[in-house]
Amino acid sequence: MTARGGEASGPRPSSGGAAGKVTAETRAAEARAAEERAVEQALALVGRGRRASDPHTTTPRTTQARTRPASAGTPASAGTPASAGTPASAGTLESSSPPPAPPSPDAAAHHTLSTHHTPGASHTHHTPSTAPRAHSETPWREARALAERLGRAVPLAAHRLPLDRALGHVLAEAVVALTDLPSFDTSAMDGWVVAGPGPWTVRNGEGLLAGCGAAEPLLDGQTVRIATGARIPAEATAVIRSEHARLDEAKGRLHATRDVVPGQDIRPRGQECRSGDQLLPVGAVVTPPVLGLAAAAGYDALVGVPRPRVDVLVLGDELLTAGLPHDGLIRDALGPMLGPWLRSLGAEVSAPRRLGDDAEALRHALTTSDADLVLTTGGTASGPVDHVHPVLAAVGAELLVDGVSVRPGHPMLLARLPGGGPCVVGLPGNPLAAVSGLLTLAEPLLRGMAGRPAPDAYRPPVYEEVQGHPHDTRLIPVVHRADSVVPLHYNGPAMLRGVAAADGLAVVPPGGVRSGTEVEILDLPWTSAAPWTEGCFT
């Protein structure tokens, strides 16, 4: 894709523990100074100075804050968006680091960008200022928690779905048994249904088949053939499997070759559930077995949360949709990738719209969208044709997250359009940076909208040292190997080769991790058994 809206991939800082390997103090100091200069250069290349919260010292800050994720059951109020100057906390923040310097009045990340324009007003083609915006980036965990709370604060109206359209949706009403299961005593095996002790006299007539009505009661000492699923006649004692019975055809008598226990191989009425029992709670994801259970319990339709609708806007005049790159033009990597990825998260996605670098086209697309989420690619930094911030300002959007302390992908943003308009997630233009934004902001936002539960966190070990950023979280493609994960190469902001081979992304804290350290993993949706979605890659 393009580096606009992305980040510099200059010299990569070493982990906080690397300097300890150098014994000479002067060499260690020089290494730390070079590291800081590299970070400064990387930030300067994307039009950002050092954050106000960074200490002015050459020693990398390796002590990291730890947050407890917020409970999904305690969403933020829909009417009171969290202030991004003080982001809605993901939990109690514990840290031994000194508190950051207070942000300037312009640093609030949750604010109305502009009050001078309304969505219905006419606009000219906007040229953004190239001056860096003063703001404080949101910590990675807080950004994810805020996105999920925003999604849960704007829930989608439930609707009734026929069973053949309910797959992948989240239940908005509990599934309660409409009948006993089974609704009558049935045979669990093919064989003979008997009454009383044997041997038994075979009753004349055809055997009992599934789907037939009630049969005549058996008299004591009688037997009749029965098929699996057939209704058990009154007064029956047990079912004898065909292989455990011997028929004397000459005498018309049946003998059991094993002991017969009363009730054997009979499924009694209500064995699985009684009418009125709750089978599935609100919030359960409709999987194929859920569809089967609902049908067995008497349902023709389920009440579910609709899939969030997403519009994808691809920005950039330099993008090709076919053929080889040439003459400074490159292939659009995000347009083909985002639709299937978003569908795998349970969303309904429109075909990508390629707007180029046209501020007015972007404004029109944002203000006329009837989606629940608009996803933009590129244009989130401060370059000469990066229009996302100015256009959001022009339409009076609320900017909830303006930059996240994560590499790659830190210039991502989260906004909400006025008047009940859609949410907006602005992804950086570099492909892996866009993946980072997708997992950081779009995935938890869509999960919140759809009412899906948060996946269980797990932390396998990594048996090699992983370099980290001095101050920001890093997301690194990994592949699982037995009981550990292995970091993959080709993990630069503009690269997809690593994540294409990955089955997850490791969350590497500031300063990096040593060999043997456990790291949190973000599963990629197609490597997990849940959530079930219909047409994951169609």
Q: What six digits make up the tokens of 416?
A: 């909400």
Question: What distance in Å separates the CA atoms of residue 14 and residue 17, rounded to the nearest whole number?
Answer: 8
Q: Examine the pLDDT at 430 and tell me if it is beyond 80.
A: yes
Tokens of 330: 């490159």
Q: What pLDDT band is residue 538 in, cutting at 50, 70 and 90?
A: very low
Task: Of 445, 467, 471, 460, give the one whose Cα is nearest residue 522.
Answer: 460
Per-residue pLDDT, 72: 35
pLDDT in tens, 379-401: 898 888 889 999 999 999 999 99
The tokens describing 536, both together, are 């994951």
Q: How far is CA 503 from CA 137, 477, 507, in A?
A: 28, 8, 13
Q: What is the pLDDT of residue 330?
A: 84
State which H helix or E strand residue 139 sits in.
strand 138-139
Q: Which residue type, as a one-letter code, is found at position 483?
A: D
What's the CA gap between 396 and 287, in Å, rounded?
40
pLDDT at 272: 94
Q: What is the mean pLDDT of the chain?
A: 78
What single-letter amino acid sits at 498?
G
**135 vs 213, higher pLDDT:** 213
The string of pLDDT tens digits covering residues 322-337 is 889 898 888 888 889 9
pLDDT in tens, 191-235: 999 999 989 999 987 789 998 887 889 999 999 999 999 999 999
Q: How confident is the model at residue 68 (pLDDT cuts 50, 70, 90)?
A: very low
Pairing of strands 373-377, 309-314: parallel
pLDDT at 271 over 50: yes
Task: Decide if 352 contacts 314 (C-beta within 8 A).
Answer: yes
Q: What are the b/e assignments for 310-326, b being 16+ CB within 10 Å? A: bbbbbbbebbeeeeeee
- Residue 30 pLDDT level (bands cut at 50, 70, 90): low
Distance CA 407, CA 474 (A): 5
Q: Tally Cβ neighbours within 10 Å of residue 34.
A: 14
Are the C-beta atoms of residues 428 and 434 closer than 8 Å to each other?
yes
Q: What is the mean pLDDT of residues 114-138?
A: 45
Q: What is the DSSP string of 59-113?
A: S------B-PPPPTTSPPPTTSPPPSSSPPPSS--B-SSPPPPPPPGGG-SSEES
Under the banding of pLDDT at 50, 70 and 90, the label for residue 528 is: low
